[in-house]
Chain A
Amino acid sequence: MTVQDFNNCVDNYSDGVYRFIVKNIGHEADAQDIVQTAFEKLWVNREKVEPTKVKSYLFTIAYHNMIDHIRKQKNNTTTHNFDDVKTQVSLHDNNELKQILLSAINDLNPTQKSLILLKDYEGYSYQEIGEIMDLSESQVRVYLHRARLILKGKLIHLKKMSA
């Protein structure tokens, strides 16, 4: 990978990786740090990474960094929790249905949330998501379906409440 290739990767993938992380943890500065770390690792391993796998490599690194970050956050009670995430993410959307959905997503666990985000935002296949999240394809399917059904149940419940 040349310098130009690397900088092209920055142009093409940094927004997606950042969106994936910031929607998960809801903290912009931490998300930026995670993205930066991912690209630094890509630069270090630029000769080993296949050009076609660069995107999933970046998401993989970012995802694992994010999991580490979340674990640290759980140990540290003074830092923000997912209630903050809920607030911050909901600020981006004014649509009522979207807000309900985002609120429901914030109640999911990090793995389910990452599955939803990778599938809906990035359009990854189950296999690719499995590679990124270090899961089998069947695990991705089961976890993802379970997450969708949770969201579906919340949507029906909220619609009944509003009706």
Chain B
Amino acid sequence: MKINTQNYETYFLLYLDNELTASEQKEVELFISENPIYKNELDIIKQTILEVDEVLFQDKVTLYRLEAMEASLNPVFKNKLYLKDVKIVDGYFTKNKIRSYSAIAALFILYFGYNSIQKQVVQSNMALNKGTSKSQLANTPVLIINKAINTNKQATYPLITNAKAGKNLAVFVTPQRENLNTPMNNTNNPNSLISEVSSADVILNINSQDIASAAVSQLANEQSTAVAQSNVVNNTTPSLNEMNTEDPDRGIYIANFEIDGDKLRGLSRRIGAFLKRNKSDKDK
């Protein structure tokens, strides 16, 4: 069957779909050259052919058989691809270190906090001693000796503390500016001491004759002791440092930190006593 004006459309379609043999293709080309009016017909059919449009499948990785690829790899080559083990270095601040450092810091805070609280307590006690109420003072016999000393300080200095018959007797020296010119040579006489005890400033502070008299009578019974004490007072009034009965500074300094030596001493004594006791028990 040859191409003609009745079947040219089918031939054109087969021609464009490349479904004709070489001889059939030549026949179609010859037909068009002989009948140019059909060339336009061929061109229109040619326009129905789609141009190749580039569309890419983006996720090819999802299609690859990677597990199978890995399994088929040479084991030696595969080992080279693996990451080598690296020694893991712990961070400087491990949990244990953080705990120990925080514990040390807490101890320091407690220690300094305790010291500061102690200082505040001492200061508040001193303030209370200056302005204590009558009832509070009535429970504590206090003997305050006004001494004329050549100083401008108005602080009260504890000098002697005696514990006898379950009662505390505190003797204070209160320097008075008003008495700066008062002679100090009568302190050897207990009576003069008593008279000084009942002087205006003392009574103003204490305002309790009974307490003062009780304290003074107790002191008068021990005249020798009082005389000795007053001598001490007399001798030391110009220089109060000599009457300082506080223990020497036993503070232990480590770098900028001070550790209370008294507390450590007490601790060391207890430990020593405990060890001695253990030792003696063993010896027995």
Contacts and interface: CB of A to CB of B under 8 A. Distances in A.
Contacts of B9: 149
Nearest to B71: A3
Contacts of A23: 53, 55
Interface in A94-151: 97-98, 101, 105, 116-117, 119-121, 123, 125-126, 141, 144-145, 148-149, 151
Contact of B51 (A10, A43, A98, A123): A98
B interface, over-half SS:
loop
Contacts, number: 80
Interface stretch (A13-21, A48-56, A63-71, A75-83): A13-21
B155 to A, nearest CB: 92
B37 interface: no
Contact of B17 (A2, A97, A121, A126): A126
Contacts of B154: none
Interface stretch (B40-48, B107-115, B129-137): B40-48
A151 B51 contact: no
A7 B53 contact: no
B50 A105 contact: yes
Given A101-B50, A155-B44, A3 B55 contact: no
Contacts of B19: 125-126, 141
Interface string A1-33: 011101100110011011100110000000010
B255 interface: no
A43 B68 CA distance: 11
Contacts of B60: 10-11, 14
B73 to A, nearest CB: 10
Nearest to A117: B50
Interface residues of B, number: 28
Interface residues of A, number: 42
A113 B39 CA distance: 26
Contacts of B48: 101, 148, 151-152, 155
Contact of B50 (A4, A15, A116, A144): A116
A117 B50 CA distance: 8
B55 A22 contact: yes
Interface string B1-20: 00000000110011001110
B47 A148 contact: no
Nearest to A123: B18
Contacts of A116: 50
Nearest to B47: A155
A36 B50 contact: no
B19 to A, nearest CB: 6
B7 to A, nearest CB: 11
A109 B145 CA distance: 126
A152 B59 contact: no
A23 B52 CA distance: 12
Contacts of B63: 10, 14, 35-36, 39
A92 B52 CA distance: 12
B79 interface: no
A50 to B, nearest CB: 19
Interface of B: 9-10, 13-14, 17-19, 44-45, 47-53, 55-57, 59-60, 62-65, 68-69, 72
